[in-house]
Structure 1
Amino acid sequence: MLVSSPVYTDKWSTVRRALAAAGERFAELLLSVPPQAMATADWTVADTAAHVVSISGSYASMLRTSGGGLPIPALEDVLKETTVDTVAHFNEVALANFDERDPRTLAERVRGDIAEMLRVSEDLDPGHPIDWLGGSRVPAAGVLAHLINELQIHGRDIARATDARWRVSPADAALFFEIFLLGVTSYGYGRLLDWDRPERKGRIAVEFRSSHTAPAAMVLTDGLVTVEKPAENVDVKLFFDPVTLNLMLFGRVSSLRAALSGRVVVWGRRPWLLPAFMKKVRLPS
């Protein structure tokens, strides 16, 4: 039987406040940047905002206890089969079936979706499991934390298009790791980490620490990833700045740059095992 972690209840109000604030900042930024400026190599500012809206609208639907389909019906066909390595296809389907690119309309959609998410989840148990990509399950608080990270990462992409200022609070960034990443790993990540290569045999335990999260260990054993309490026999210890770690996990900052900045520090009895761990415990970049 799945037991909800106290961290979801303890940080429920924090996650909710952070999501409301991040959504408002993102909407305001969107109205100040030319929509046809390139936010990434492939997406304009308007495309990036449409991507975020496709997520916020889907999450509002997922959090409704009455259920109901996703606002982009075409996503229903690919939702359960999506893995980390096929998220790009999921995003392509979303953008191909969502035509809105007007920044003012998109800004209002972000605000409206977040208001709806907060409304429908107000009386929801923050540890309530929500069906997510690839047959995975995420605590309700983790759905909010994931959208906060999307707003932070893509807000940075949009801001960099015109050198606008975009600051992310480390405490808010930490919610992604502590509430979402540990949450989806604990609740069951389904097919998210499936791939077509042989699984590494053996055990690799990585302890994660930061000034904004409780210590936690993620353990890779014969291809299966679990969350455990830190123990003396961990192989790798990793201290991280949450903002930098998120940017690194999503390919915005290289691991070398993160290490040279001192914002991600690795040590332990077998630190050379970290690359093998990160090949399996990966996120879209």
Structure 2
Amino acid sequence: MSVTPNQWRRVRTSVPVVLGRLLDLVEDAPPDRAATAHWTVADTMAHLCGVAAMGLSLVRGAPPDLPVPGLLDLRRRTTVDTISVMNAEVLRHFTERRLPVLADRLRADVEEVLRAVGETGPEHEVSWLGGARLPVTGLLAHLLNELNIHSWDIARALGRRWIVDPADAALFVDLFLVDMTRRSYGRLLDRDAPARPGRISVNFRHPFGPEVTLALVDGRVSVEPPDPRPDVRLSFDPATFTLMLFGRVHRVRAVLARKLSVGGRRPWLLPVFLRTMRMPS
């Protein structure tokens, strides 16, 4: 098994805890308050409802309970660079913006997701965006990260502070990012630019799990045994790292705060690696 019993227990425990904090946060929030450059608080909650609904559909093996024409085909064709298109389509057709209604739906769907994955077990695999292969542990880690990232957005809009537990953020790195790469990320990282020839190895190190090496070889990323002399060595606080990956924290700020350190034989190759191993921001 690629997931430990502690990770399996933690991800199922953390999702409802973070959800509860989010629901407390939005209970008296103004729905029209801008949470991001393009989304209000209500839009952000509707987006999270869409994430939970699609996750539940994957675990159940049924179409998502969302009024979006052609959503299954759109999900299959989606890449990192077109996730915004899919998100926009979901928000365009899923028009509910009443916060109490959205909160009730999100709570109910997350409860169903947790119940469903409890029945399947941690190694049950689903076909995710772009044909990526993902175990349900990774699906939960992604849901947990979405709850944290967008709660951070809402809290900032309300003038409040949102704390991301670094042990929870580590689950996103280990169970989603690394495990999906190990299995297959399908077309998720496809891009129009020509593939860079050669090999770049990057070691990822954080306090909550073993060091992992990801290697970019001729345009494809794979998980390799730990490289004793990697091109790039990343040591990081997982909470800061995930916020940085999704454009909420600048890389320079993370380095200056000593939440991210970059070393290795050829650390200047990190931006090249991240142009392929990227996240939507």
Say yes or no: TM over 0.5.
yes
User: Shift in Å at residue 115 of structure 1?
Assistant: 0.6
**Which has the higher mean CA deviation after the structures are superposed, 69-78 or 194-203?**
69-78
User: Shift in Å at residue 57 of structure 1?
Assistant: 1.1
Rounded to whole Å, the distance in 1 between the matches of 2:109 and 2:24 is 15
Query: Which residue number corresponds to residue 244 of structure 1?
Result: 240
* Number of residues of Structure 1 aligned to a counterpart in Structure 2: 279
Of 148, 167, 183 in structure 2, the residue corresponding to residue 171 of structure 1 is: 167
Rounded to whole Å, the distance in 2 between the matches of 1:252 and 1:18 is 21
Question: Structure 2 regions of 5+ residues with no counterpart?
Answer: none
Query: Which residue number corresponds to residue 191 of structure 1?
Result: 187
Verify: 1:25 aligned to 2:21, yes or no. Answer: yes
**Which has the higher mean CA deviation after the structures are superposed, 147-156 or 100-109?**
100-109
Query: Which residue number corresponds to residue 160 of structure 1?
Result: 156
Of 57, 62, 67 in structure 2, the residue corresponding to residue 68 of structure 1 is: 62
Deviation per residue, 1:11-37 (Å, 9 max, x gap): 111110011111111112121321110
Amino acid paired to 1:219: A
User: Shift in Å at residue 231 of structure 1?
Assistant: 1.8
Aligned-residue CA RMSD (Å): 1.1
Query: Which residue number corresponds to residue 54 of structure 1?
Result: 50
Verify: 1:99 aligned to 2:95, yes or no. Answer: yes
| Aligned pairs for 1:245-284 within 5 A | 245-284=241-280
User: Shift in Å at residue 9 of structure 1?
Assistant: 4.1
Give the alignment's TM-score, normalised by structure 2.
0.97
SS in 2 for 1:138: strand
Of 120, 123, 129 in structure 1, the residue corresponding to residue 119 of structure 2 is: 123
User: Shift in Å at residue 209 of structure 1?
Assistant: 0.5
Question: Structure 1 regions of 5+ residues with no counterpart?
Answer: none
Verify: 1:208 aligned to 2:204, yes or no. Answer: yes
Rounded to whole Å, the distance in 1 between the matches of 2:229 and 2:210 is 18
Rounded to whole Å, the distance in 2 between the matches of 1:161 and 1:213 is 33
Note if contact 2:229-2:264 (Cα within 8 Å) is conserved in structure 1. Answer: no
Give the alignment's TM-score, normalised by structure 1.
0.95
